[in-house]
Amino acid sequence: GQNIDQPTEMTATEGAIVQINCTYQTSGFNGLFWYQQHAGEAPTFLSYNVLDGLEEKGRFSSFLSRSKGYSYLLLKELQMKDSASYLCAVVDSNYQLIWGAGTKLIIKP
Amino acid sequence: DAMVIQNPRYQVTQFGKPVTLSCSQTLNHNVMYWYQQKSSQAPKLLFHYYDKDFNNEADTPDNFQSRRPNTSFCFLDIRSPGLGDAAMYLCATSRVREPLEQFFGPGTRLTVL
């Protein structure tokens, strides 16, 4: 079967750094997405990795290791508005998105 | 701005009363998706279209149907909603080729009384 694992919930402090991990076992791999989803809203795109390494985009960075089936999302200089769920999703060999259940990130002042 | 629009944002229906949710897009994407998402769960793919080619996920109940009359519009019909169908319904679009990013509409929150 296909599986995406992420922690259910994480807590961090405003201004700090947090790393959200994602491990996956899928039939094939054609890229990995990170989406942000605020409560009651639709997911919005954060990042896309298809090659190994780090992709940096402002305060957010995403890392991929295909050999380890592993990715992480790094959020720096945390702000209260970063409180949301972060979903990891992998494109499988059929070009279908396999979604993780998301990591709820709670930011405390 | 190019976007994905869903109507209505909130829908209340009665147990067993058919309901239709709509989605439109101005992105001119070939692929459209319908997802069901319940609280604290991953989005669950119900259907997707490559242009007019319809793809039904194996575990999507027969109670759910979909129509795509043209590139811009897609509909989700729930023939006899049950209490377990209360959820957020998300419409998304994407290109066929990379980048494969999916663009989501704001969602329709369905309540079944």
Tell me the pLDDT tens digit for each residue of A5-15.
999 999 999 99
| Residue B59 pLDDT | 87
Which 46-85 residues of chain B touch chain A by CB within 8 A? none
Q: Which residue is it, tokens 């709820």? A: A104
Contact residues, chain A, for B99 at CB < 8 Å? 48
Q: Scanning every residue of chain A, which has its alpha carbon at the shortest distance from the alpha carbon of B91?
A: A42
Does B102 contact chain A (CB < 8 Å)? yes
Neighbouring-strand partners of residue B89? B36, B108
Rounded mean pLDDT, A76-105: 94
CA dihedral B75, B81, B87, B90 (to 10 degrees): -10
Rg (CA), chain B: 13
| Residue B2 pLDDT | 65
**CA A23 – CA A70 distance, rounded (Å):** 4
> Are A42 and B45 a contacting pair at CB < 8 A?
no
**CA A79 – CA A107 distance, rounded (Å):** 7
Mean model confidence pLDDT for chain A: 95
> Are B105 and A45 a contacting pair at CB < 8 A?
no
Does B99 contact chain A (CB < 8 Å)? yes
pLDDT above 90 for A95: no
Contact residues, chain A, for B41 at CB < 8 Å? 101-102
Which residues does chain B have with pLDDT short of 70? 1-2
| Residue B96 pLDDT | 81
| Residue A35 pLDDT | 96
pLDDT above 80 for A1: no
**CA A33 – CA B18 distance, rounded (Å):** 35
**CA B71 – CA A2 distance, rounded (Å):** 31
Q: Scanning every residue of chain A, which has its alpha carbon at the shortest distance from the alpha carbon of B42?
A: A101
pLDDT above 90 for A96: no
Rounded mean pLDDT, A97-109: 94
Write down how long chain A is: 109
Helix (H) or strand (E) holding A39: none
